[in-house]
Amino acid sequence: MRRWVKEEQIDVEAVYMSFARQILEALSHLPLFLVMDGSLPVGSDAGVYWSGTQYK
């Protein structure tokens, strides 16, 4: 995955943002919640936070 994202000829934002936009527009009439998860340790001095959306 990392090699694909780093590839200069691939516009990652264009690929993912169009997909995300379509999903969010389709669910725009429903309440959406931002869900955030805690930190996952990566190495000795870094962490990862992730977030997503939930509907229903």
In this predicted structure, what is the pLDDT of residue 5? 64
In this predicted structure, what is the pLDDT of residue 4? 65
Structure tokens at 32: 């959406």
pLDDT top residue among 17 and 5: 17
Strand partners, 34: 53
Name the CA dihedral angle for 31, 39, 21, 28, rounded to a multiple of 10 degrees.
0
pLDDT top residue among 5 and 38: 38
Q: How confident is the model at residue 1 (pLDDT cuts 50, 70, 90)?
A: low
Task: Pick the closest to residue 37 from 52, 54, 50, 55 (CA basis).
Answer: 50
Per-residue pLDDT of 6-52, as tens digits, reads 777 877 777 788 888 898 899 888 888 888 887 777 777 777 888 88
The C-alpha atoms of residue 12 and residue 15 are separated, in whole angstroms, by 5
